[in-house]
Copies of this chain bind each other. A is one copy, B any other.
Amino acid sequence: MQYFFKMPKATRNTPAKTKIYELLLSSELALSHAEIQQRLDFTCDRVTIYRVLDRLLESGQIHKIVNVDGVVKYACCKTCSPVHQHNHIHFSCERCKEVTCLNEVEPVYQIPKNYLVTDVSFTLLGVCPQCR
């Protein structure tokens, strides 16, 4: 009997999980829940999509971005596997509303006194190359 160590719950590979993960893997952009639902032609229940996204977040396969307009987007982080590391900048286009990971740009900041920094959320806002 194990009292102090809780086994991580086993997760299963299901068509929904595979399809959603592959969709995010192949997408250049971060996708919202609604966009994922559309691209799957509404073959998955909306609740299932939320739960699959939670599992993928939990396992570190994807990351979550809360855009400045409040829209939540999900993306596979290509450059930082296998250990997840979201220390990169996102770009949010105010015209097409698309959110992209700028993997090549690293954020620089001075750590303020007495604050303990564990993570960074850095989004540049403006107009993307396609919309200029």
- Report the nearest B residue to A121, measured CB to CB: B123
| Closest beta carbon of chain B to A84's beta carbon, Å | 14
- Binary B-proximity of A96-132 (CB < 8 A = 1, otherwise 0): 0000001011011111111111111111111111001
Copies of this chain, complex-wide, total 2
A94 within 8 Å of B (CB atoms): yes
Q: Chain B residues near A127: list those with CB within 8 A.
A: 115-116, 118
Q: A66-B69, A68-B66 are in contact. Are A112 and B91 (CB under 8 A)?
A: yes
| Closest beta carbon of chain B to A125's beta carbon, Å | 4
- Which residues of A come within 8 Å of B, CB atoms? 66-70, 72, 89, 91-92, 94, 102, 104-105, 107-129, 132
